[in-house]
Structure formats: structure tokens, C-alpha cells
Amino acid sequence: MSTFVLIHGAGDVGWYWHLVEAELRARGHDVVAPDLPCDDDSAGLNEYADVVIEAVGDREDLVVVGQSFGGFTAPLVAARLPVGVLVLVAAMIPAPGESPVEWWENTGFQDAKREQARSDGESTGGTGDPYADFYHDVPRELAEEAMRRERPQAEARMGEPWPLDAWPDVPTRFVLCEQDRSFPPDFFRRLAAERLNITPDEIAAGHCVALSRPRELAEILEGYAAARRAGG
């Protein structure tokens, strides 16, 4: 069985993954889902990776999964540990030396948001209502609990360059959320092709897929692990 290392996004907590964790544990896997020090102004991306690596300990057969802003941390972990598969779930894909602050302009994100808004006739992901932008397909009670658990995202070190010189030499997969109102699906299709030369696997869900479709996401993640063990 595998150990799934689940890395949450900005201003969040490991609890975000609790439903996916339950699904994976029911299938016999081990799971690590630490809280990153995202509310600590003194912590940067390397410190985020340190927290994850400490939580992993001596576990083996690792599948590292990063969601949203976790896409900046997950590759750092994969570069330092023997990881079988690296999975990005609706996640930002950094380039070498690119800071989180620079990512938004470098990737053309705002243009993609405007184009998406024009095509669907609404202000996609820009309503200011988190229940509409992030949790539109999450049960309301669960979304309210997620909101209660959120933490401030420290911005003090968001201008620091992503420290890797290249993407880690680890098989990488991307799970794209077809109903994502925060990151337009076409934007991630393009970015995954440009920066990783991969075609995403797609799921009918919004940005917070671990809360809205935990069973389906767990099945996808388990499938990646099984394919890796089989040499696929």
C-alpha cells in the first residue's frame, strides 16, 4: 500500500483533506496531511516543505499531492524524498525562480479569468462570495466548517523565488476540476501542457474537490499509485 502525502492550499489546514483521507485509509493506505505554517510571516516555501518532510518521517511508497497553492510546495517535497508519483490537484504550477507573486502575471491568469467570464456570461470566481467562488458544489454545512477552519495566508515571503532549478524528475499528474470557478479549466489545460507537457485528467467538480467529490478523487489518486507500482 502507498503513503499519500496531502498538501493543502493557501490559508487552509490539513483538515481540508479529511474526507479523502478517510477514503484512502479505508482502502488500506497510510495518509499524512499536515498543517503548513501558512499564517507565519517567518515561514517561506522551504519551511513549508520542511513541515511536510518531518511529518512523513520514514514512510515509504510516497504519493505527494498538492492542491491549489500547494503546487508550490509539493515539488519541493518530491525533490527531497523518494517519491513515486507527484500529483497536482487544481494546483499552481511554478517555473524555476518564479515567485508566487510573479506567477499570476507570468501565467496570464487574469487574461484567462476575463476570457472565462466573457464566455460564461458571469464574473467567474470574482463574486467575492467564497461559497459561490470556491464552495459552490460543497454541502453548505461542510463549506461553513471549512470557512471556520481557514487561517490567514502570510504574504511576507511571497516574493521569494521558487527555489528549484527544474521540475523534479518524478512522474507527475494533474487533476483538473471542470467546474472550477477560481482557476478557469482552459487556463490549467494550457498551463499543464506548456510547463509540464502533460494532459490533465479531469473531474466534474469545483475547486474544493476534496470536499465535494472525495470518493472520486481518492479513486483517481489510488489509480495513480497502482499504475506506478505496476510500472505504468
For 153-176, how does the pLDDT look when each residue is reduced to its tens digit (9 = 90+)? 999 999 999 999 999 999 999 999
Average pLDDT, the chain: 95
Q: Is 209 exposed, middle or buried (0-12, 13-18, 19+ CB in 10 A)?
A: buried
Specify the pLDDT at position 113. 87
Q: How confident is the model at residue 128 (pLDDT cuts 50, 70, 90)?
A: confident
| Strand 172-177 relative to strand 3-7, pairing | unpaired
Question: Is residue 123's pLDDT more than 70?
Answer: no
- Taking Cα atoms as reference points, which of 33, 58, 12 lies closest to residue 218? 33
- pTM comes to 0.95
Beta sheet of 83-89, edge-to-edge order: 30-32, 3-7, 62-67, 83-89, 172-177, 201-203
